[in-house]
Amino acid sequence: MTWLKDKISSPSKLNKSSQFDWDWVLVWVLRIMAAITGAIVLLIVIFLILESLPFLQVKGIGPFFTDQRWNPTEGLYNFTPMLWGTLLATMGSVVVATPLGIISALFCQYYAPVAIGNLYRRLIELLAGIPSVVYGFWGLVVLVPLINRLHPPGASLLAGIIILTIMILPTIALVADASFGKVPQEYLLGATSLGLSKWGTICNVVFPAAKSGLFTGVILTVGRAIGETMAVLMVCGNVVETPSSIFDPIRTLTANIALEMAYALGNHRSALFVSGLALMAIIVLLAVAAEVITVTSSPVTKNS
Amino acid sequence: MTVTNLDNLQATTQESVLMRTEQLSLSYGKKIAFEDVSIAINQSKITALVGPSGCGKSSFLSCLNRLTDLIDNCRVTGRIFLEKWDVMNRQIDTIALRRRVGHIFQKPNPFPLDLWKNFAFPLKEHGVKNRQEIDLIVERVLKDVGLWHEVKDRLKDSALALSGGQQQRLCIARALALEPEVLLMDEPCSALDPISSGVVEDLIASLRQKYAVLVVTHNLAQAKRIADYVGVFWVRDNRGKLIEFGEAKQVFESPQHDLTAAYISGHRG
Amino acid sequence: MKQEIIKSPISTILVWLVAVLVTGTFAWILGDIIFHGVGGISWEFLTTAPEDAGRSGGIGPILVSTGLILAVAMGVSVPLGVGTAILLAEFTSATNWFGRFVRRSLDILAGVPSIVFGLFGNAFFAKTLGLGFSILSGGLTLACMVLPILIRSAEEGLRGVPDELRLGAAALGLSRTATLFHLLLPAAIPGLLVGLVLGIGRAIAETAALVFTSGYVARMPQSLLDSGRSLSIHIFDLSMNISGGDTNAYGSALVLVILFLMINATAAWLAHQSSSKYNDSYQFR
Ligand SMILES: Nc1ncnc2c1ncn2[C@@H]1O[C@H](COP(=O)(O)OP(=O)(O)OP(=O)(O)O)[C@@H](O)[C@H]1O
Ligand SMILES: [Mg+2]
């Protein structure tokens, strides 16, 4: 049997041989790949800044708030109507979608029979991924004419809020569903054995325990709503004006970029990148906020 | 209280010590799993480790072939020698080390490949590329563990289709195929039914001729039957210690430590 | 107590109402698209080129462009994503600074609005790298975008492989490279495929990131450096800029929805496969 001993790269010595170390190569190849992946975010920020700089260096941030209106061909760069547009559409949709999403999650977890609950969850998962252009298209051909009958012109803040609500509801519902799923079963049993009703249990036990998850979900959703472009662009009318009623058309920051990038040059292009940079900053801030909530609240949920 | 570890160590060094540890300690993060374990593993002998659950026996085994490298936040101090080689040294080729120190786990862990590939894959990685040679080795080690007649017609079937006892013997055979010098066995019979367990036990006893075997077992009767040396682990201050180590006969018949005495006579310490 | 007993049924009714409302709305959306779109779909529609700015004709070149954009996106992001996932899952501890940096930036990347990806793709791929408005620019932009999804599922797939395999392989003196390629990756393949399919789903749904990277040109692309119009952009353009394009827009939207549903069904099936694979074989402890 000694014949095998020679065949197997038999190390009578245990010193690292000078043999080529594939593990080392592998790890470094993987590290380079991961470094590229990790660098993408930095690259995005860097390029947004680079493209924004021409504007910011010459004019600063002032014009975005003090110019008379948004008219890049005349050199006027007031962003405020678009900021209002984004803010109102986002707030409106988050305010409507949050309760609906949370109730949807409650339905899955506590109200529906298991089979229906699972089916509903699959439906919501599906809806979270449906192309936004499909929602936008439906909004354009079905929703806008409906609103138009109610109050012309139809393409309006209201249409934007409705479409955004439909689009972000699944996200909230999924995050809420996940955080309800993490509430320990004993809590529920304990509450039920105290004679609390289902709704009472949900208010007094489930919500407090799932609080941080819900917050994180809402924050993620805000990011999604702010960033949504195509669907909003298709239903909101895109008039650059601060809306005075919910039936007025609006233009959001994202829609503005999508509409004008194709032909924007010089300062105009640079100004659009500034708005992109602002969007990016908001997203990072939201991510930090979500992180802070998760970190600060996790010990509480553990103890309670 | 500290037992005569070193005396025992000296007693055993007179024979052919293949592997030994000196003041070996291991901690997972802040939790110390075991502390100050000095032990010798002899050529052609079976050394058994016994002790209550959670006292660090499995952890101790994984130090000996540096499997601890794979575990996050795990820190090992002390010294381990294989012959004259310092196993803890960073310069050590862990691949060569693990080839020389085989490890059988408590739970059988065949690869999710067919039976033949379970042998061929490690053998090829260690430089045996010739098909005929691999076939010969497979047949030999499967015969060694008494599995050949059960599986010789199903070498192309998934190894996961075997019974638990067969899987464990497959794992032992797989380790043997690499011709290790030391075999670490972590409760190799605990997941098996009494009959398979008996088969594996006989197998371990027969391995004595060719290998230095270190076997962890919860089965004191088994240790008594097969072991030449016995080490007793115990949990004290929430960390594992080796409270007794010596020749099996002496440990079982005149234990030096009260806890050992209580443990082997079936009382709780 | 008394109050709650009275409240309870109302809350139940409310919850069911919301569920019905949500389901109804989505049924409405899908039903509308299927109802209006199904008449427009035919083999001819799928294979011929658009005519009259898309009002008539089909979507052949658009499907080709979409396929090419997806191929570029997945061709670049899959190796990069799988490599990163392997590093994160197999070679970095939870506390390692580099691993944490990569994870953190992926978290942010996952939240970046698609229009910002569009800006970046335009500035970096189209302008700085000189790829212009092309399938390549669009595909690369989408590659950046789907990386987080891809990496997350690939990592989950790898983490689903039981540690026994890693320890067992290491104990036999197998190198990590050999372990990875012979044991871990084959075992993680269902998870990797789920990631791939979800990535395709995300990429095919994307519009905003493509508007100024891959462009609008509806002709059959001759090379990856040609501009190519994706299906989603086609729908957008027909419905917004072309009056009388609604019929074909409906047809295209239905094609997109069907593709999307097929992709999702595949992902669900694969996920089911991967979850059942190991739990059966390593049951006893
Ligand atoms: N990977 C790990 N991370 C953290 N702690 C661990 C890890 N593995 C083991 N431990 C802890 O180390 C201690 C010793 O564990 P070990 O598995 O070595 O015990 P054991 O003697 O083999 O027990 P058993 O007889 O039940 O197999 C235990 O308290 C265990 O909780
Ligand atoms: Mg153990």
For residue C218, the model assigns a pLDDT of 87
- A36-40, A62-66, A121-125, B3-7: range with lowest mean pLDDT: B3-7
- A14-23, B116-125, B203-212, C71-80: range with lowest mean pLDDT: A14-23
pLDDT over 60 (residue C176): yes
Kindly give the residue spans of alpha helices, DSSP state H, lying in chain B.
Answer: 5-13, 57-64, 94-100, 115-125, 131-144, 148-151, 164-177, 194-207, 220-226, 248-253, 258-264
Average pLDDT over residues C216-241: 91
C69 contacts C228 by C-beta, under 8 angstroms = yes
Q: Which residues does chain B have within 8 Å of residue A21's beta carbon, measured at their own beta carbons? A: none
Average pLDDT over residues B195-209: 86
Residue with tokens 């991510």, as numbered in its chain? A287
CB atoms within 10 A of CB C23: 17
pLDDT over 60 (residue C236): yes
Average pLDDT over residues A148-155: 90
Rounded to the nearest integer, the mean pLDDT of chain C is: 88
Q: CA B173, CA A18: separation in Å to the nearest integer? A: 30
For residue B5, the model assigns a pLDDT of 44
pLDDT over 70 (residue B167): yes
B104 contacts B185 by C-beta, under 8 angstroms = yes
* Residue burial B150-177, b: 16+ Cβ < 10 Å; e: rest: ebeeebeebbbebeebbbbbbbbbbbbb
> What's the pLDDT band for A145 if we cut at 50, 70, 90?
very high
B100 contacts B180 by C-beta, under 8 angstroms = yes
For residue C29, the one-letter residue type is I
Residue with tokens 């371990």, as numbered in its chain? B204
Q: CA C131, CA C137: separation in Å to the nearest integer? A: 6
Tens digits of residue pLDDT in B42-52: 988 999 999 88
> What's the pLDDT band for C283 if we cut at 50, 70, 90?
very low
Residue with tokens 């039981």, as numbered in its chain? C162
For residue C115, the model assigns a pLDDT of 94
Report the DSSP beta bridge partners of residue B39. Answer: B21
| Strand pairing report for C56-57 and B101-104 | unpaired
For residue B14, the model assigns a pLDDT of 52
For C137, half-sphere exposure in the C-beta direction (CA atoms, 13 angstrom radius) is 31
Cα of B27 vs centre of ligand 1, distance in Å, is 10
Q: Identify residues whose C-beta is under 5 A from ligand 2, the ion.
A: B 58
Q: In this complex, do C16 and A141 lie within 8 Å of one another by their Cβ atoms?
A: no
Q: CA C199, CA A225: separation in Å to the nearest integer? A: 21
pLDDT over 50 (residue B121): yes
Q: In this complex, do A5 and B179 lie within 8 Å of one another by their Cβ atoms?
A: yes
> What's the pLDDT band for B61 if we cut at 50, 70, 90?
very high
> What's the pLDDT band for A296 if we cut at 50, 70, 90?
confident
Q: Is the dihedral of CA C78, C83, C86, C92 positive or negative?
A: negative
Q: In this complex, do C239 and A257 lie within 8 Å of one another by their Cβ atoms?
A: no
Q: In this complex, do B133 and A15 lie within 8 Å of one another by their Cβ atoms?
A: no
For residue A16, the model assigns a pLDDT of 56
C36 contacts C250 by C-beta, under 8 angstroms = yes
A159 contacts A139 by C-beta, under 8 angstroms = yes
At A246, is the secondary structure helix, strand, or coil? coil
For residue A270, the model assigns a pLDDT of 94
Mutate to test the interface with B, among C164, C172, C283 (most CBs of B within 10 A): C172
CATH numbers and ranges of domains, chain C: 48-278 (1.10.3720.10)
pLDDT over 60 (residue B107): yes
pLDDT over 90 (residue C242): no
A283 token code pair: 């997203």
pLDDT over 80 (residue A10): no
CB atoms within 10 A of CB C73: 27
The DSSP element (H or E) to which C158 belongs, if any, is helix C135-159
pLDDT over 50 (residue C254): yes
For residue A23, the model assigns a pLDDT of 83
Q: Cα distance from C161 to chain B (closest Cα, Å)?
A: 11
Touching subunits of C (3+ CB pairs, under 8 Å) are: A, B
Q: Percentage of chain A surpassing pLDDT 90? A: 58
CB atoms within 10 A of CB A285: 12
- Per CATH, the number for B2-264 is 3.40.50.300
Ligand nearest the Cα atom of residue B57: 1
Cα of B235 vs centre of ligand 2, distance in Å, is 14
For residue B12, the model assigns a pLDDT of 46
Going by alpha carbons, the residue nearest to atom 26 of ligand 1 is: B53
Q: Percentage of chain A surpassing pLDDT 70? A: 91
Q: Residue A7: which of B92, B127, B140 has the nearest Cβ? A: B127
Q: Is the CB of residue B71 below 6 angstroms from any atom belonging to ligand 1?
A: yes
Average pLDDT over residues B171-198: 88
Which has more confidence, C182 or C279?
Answer: C182
SS (H, E, C) A29-85: HHHHHHHHHHHHHHHHHHHHHHHHHHHHHHHCCCHHHHCCCEEHHHCEECCHHHHHH
Q: CA distances (Å), A114 to each of A108, A110, A117, A121, A191, in order?
A: 8, 9, 5, 10, 21
Q: CA distances (Å), A217 to each of A235, C54, C95, in order?
A: 25, 40, 26
pLDDT over 90 (residue C21): yes
For residue C282, the model assigns a pLDDT of 44
Q: Which residues does chain B have within 8 Å of residue C164's beta carbon, measured at their own beta carbons? A: 105, 107, 109
pLDDT over 80 (residue B233): yes
pLDDT over 70 (residue B174): yes
pLDDT over 80 (residue A20): no
SS3 content of chain B, % helix, strand, coil (to 5): 40, 30, 30
For residue A301, the model assigns a pLDDT of 43
Average pLDDT over residues A133-162: 94
Going by alpha carbons, the residue nearest to atom 18 of ligand 1 is: B56
Distance of CA A281 to the CA centre of its chain: 13
Nearest CA in chain B to C94: B72
A178 token code pair: 């996940």
For residue C4, the model assigns a pLDDT of 47
Q: CA C81, CA A100: separation in Å to the nearest integer? A: 35
Going by alpha carbons, the residue nearest to atom 17 of ligand 1 is: B58
For residue B214, the model assigns a pLDDT of 94
pLDDT over 90 (residue A24): no
